[in-house]
Amino acid sequence: MDTKTKSVKPAHTSDPAAKTSSGPFFQTAGKQDTSSEYFHVGVQPKLNVGRRGDPYEREADAVADTVVSGDGARGRGELISKGTITDVPVPFLIPVADSTTVHLTVHIDMDGDGEFLYEPPDSFIDVVATTAGGEPATTTVTITLLPPLGPASALLDPQVSDGTSVVLAGGLLPAPGFLAVHANDGGEPGALLGVSEIFPAGEVGAVTVRLAEPLAGTGTLFAVAWVDRDEDGTFTPGPEGDEMAVTADGLLAAASALVTVIRREPAALVVEDQVVADGKFVISTLEAPGPGFIEILTNVSGAPGVRLGAVLVDAGTVDDLEIPLPAGVDGGDRLWLRLWVDFDQSGSLTAADLRALTELGGDPIEESFVVSIG
């Protein structure tokens, strides 16, 4: 009698159909959910059997009672045709919570009723088939459960991004896995744009996901929870690899939100020491990737100090830009200039603009120059 090992994946009828990178992202469907399905008749679990009345016999009796009483509602399997058959699905009547070994046996529909009936303890109405050598047509299979796909969730809030990363609000993973960012493809998760590091099972807090390529512009994106189904610790999506997780209701564990893209690059700021005669200083070259601000600050020990003012600038490149000199600046003073992007699109330099830059990482473009009063 052969002994084989098989990995069993939970099936969820809500899993999306196969998808490509140019369309909704691929997902494998049709795998068996050993945590919620049923033993197909013709598959009898291997139980430990001992003396009458011992725990093992009581275990066997309990299984038999379950089948006969109809608990689980699907104790009878469907008839399969004569001939050579492959890839026969075997749903479970008894939930399997861990790796287990089962006996698989072929039975002949002797009474021609199209059903398989198991009457405990040992009698079978539909007899066991035999091999060409007269041996019972049976085998033993060790079933290894793969990590569950649910319940899971992924959270994504509307936000402003520079296009290089997206902040996911968190999520829930039923097993070790990942949170990923996907493009929008007709209201469904499309091409993969970026993926987080692996997280353990449980709740996941806010995480910043770096994108493989900068976003082209503002649009709706998806956050999707993934399970590390092959348990290799790396993100390997595909039929034999990692799979999208599902919610408690069997729906795809995903969320969508509008991501407004305001770029921080390309940007440039060039200013030189100069004499100011008409109350204005000159920025030699300014390049702003979007509407923003020139922040003017004092010098404190060779670093930017107190803000003296902020001037709104448009997107684009301009040379010899004149900026009013703040009041109180004396000859010989060193001033600092910083270039900011108007991330909250308020038209004024606010804490939201500063916070956005901090969350995205990196430093603003800043230069200093010495003022002489002419």
* Per-residue pLDDT at 355: 58
Mean pLDDT check: name the lowest of 51-55, 231-235, 317-321. Answer: 51-55
For residue 268, list its beta bridge partners: 287
Is 125 found in the same domain as 162?
Answer: no
H or E segment to which residue 280 belongs = strand 280-288
- Sign of torsion, CA 37 43 44 45? negative
Task: Indicate the residue among 146, 178, 212 that finishes a domain.
Answer: 146
Q: Are strands 177-185 and 188-195 parallel, antiparallel or unpaired?
A: antiparallel
Task: Indicate the residue among 146, 161, 176 that finishes a domain.
Answer: 146
Is 130 found in the same domain as 43?
Answer: yes
Is 316 found in the same domain as 292?
Answer: yes
How confident is the model over 198-221, as a mean pLDDT? Answer: 95
Centre a 10 Å sphere on the Cβ of residue 305 and count the other Cβ atoms it contains.
14
Residue 162: closest CA among 364, 370, 371, 356: 356
* Per-residue pLDDT at 18: 36
Residues 147-166 have pLDDT tens digits of 999 999 999 999 988 889 99
- Provide the residue range defining the domain that includes 333: 268-373
Q: Is residue 2 part of a domain?
A: no
221 contact partners, CB below 8 Å, separation of at least 6: 156, 166, 181, 182, 183, 184, 193, 256, 257, 259
Higher pLDDT, 211 or 31: 211
Tokens (6 digits) for 240: 């034999």
Is 352 found in the same domain as 273?
Answer: yes
∠ CA 15-89-243, rounded to 5°: 30
Burial classification of residue 315, based on how many CB atoms lie within 10 Å of its CB (0-12 exposed, 13-18 middle, 19 or more buried): middle
Contact 216, 268 (CB under 8 A): no
Residue 344 has pLDDT above 90, yes or no: no
Is 317 found in the same domain as 238?
Answer: no
Residue 144 has pLDDT above 70, yes or no: yes
Q: What is the DSSP letter of 40?
A: P
Decide: helix, strand or coil at residue 320: strand
* Per-residue pLDDT at 45: 38
Residues 106-120 have pLDDT tens digits of 888 877 777 776 665
Whole-model pTM over 0.95:
no
* Per-residue pLDDT at 103: 79
Is 277 found in the same domain as 359?
Answer: yes
* Per-residue pLDDT at 143: 82
Residue 280 has pLDDT above 90, yes or no: yes
Q: Is residue 188 part of a domain?
A: yes
Q: Are strands 334-341 and 292-300 parallel, antiparallel or unpaired?
A: antiparallel
Share of the chain above pLDDT 90, in %: 46
Contact 242, 177 (CB under 8 A): yes
* Per-residue pLDDT at 353: 76
* Per-residue pLDDT at 76: 44
Residue 279 has pLDDT above 90, yes or no: yes
Q: Is residue 332 part of a domain?
A: yes
* Per-residue pLDDT at 77: 52
Q: What is the CA radius of gyration of the chain?
A: 33
Q: Is residue 159 part of a domain?
A: yes
Task: Indicate the residue among 101, 124, 146 that finishes a domain.
Answer: 146
Mean pLDDT check: name the lowest of 4-18, 224-238, 312-326, 332-346. Answer: 4-18
Residue 208 has pLDDT above 70, yes or no: yes
Distance (Å, whole) CA 284 – CA 286: 7
Is 293 found in the same domain as 209?
Answer: no
Share of the chain above pLDDT 70, in %: 74
Is 79 found in the same domain as 176?
Answer: no
Contact 154, 171 (CB under 8 A): yes
In DSSP notation, 148-166 reads: P--S-EEE---EEE-SSEE
* CATH code for the domain in which residue 243 is found: 2.60.40
Integer angstrom CA distances of residue 320 from 32, 271, 280, 285, 300: 69, 9, 11, 6, 27
Tokens (6 digits) for 235: 């993100």
As for how many domains the chain has, the answer is: 3
Q: Is residue 28 part of a domain?
A: no
Is 176 found in the same domain as 132?
Answer: no
How confident is the model over 53-68, as a mean pLDDT? Answer: 43
Centre a 10 Å sphere on the Cβ of residue 131 and count the other Cβ atoms it contains.
10
Is 235 found in the same domain as 210?
Answer: yes
Is 299 found in the same domain as 246?
Answer: no
Residue 121 has pLDDT above 80, yes or no: no
* Per-residue pLDDT at 36: 35
* Per-residue pLDDT at 233: 96
Split at pLDDT 50, 70, 90, the class of 124 is low
Split at pLDDT 50, 70, 90, the class of 327 is very high
Is 119 found in the same domain as 47?
Answer: yes
* Per-residue pLDDT at 351: 81
Mean pLDDT of the chain: 79
Backbone angles phi, psi at 321, to 5 degrees: -80, 125
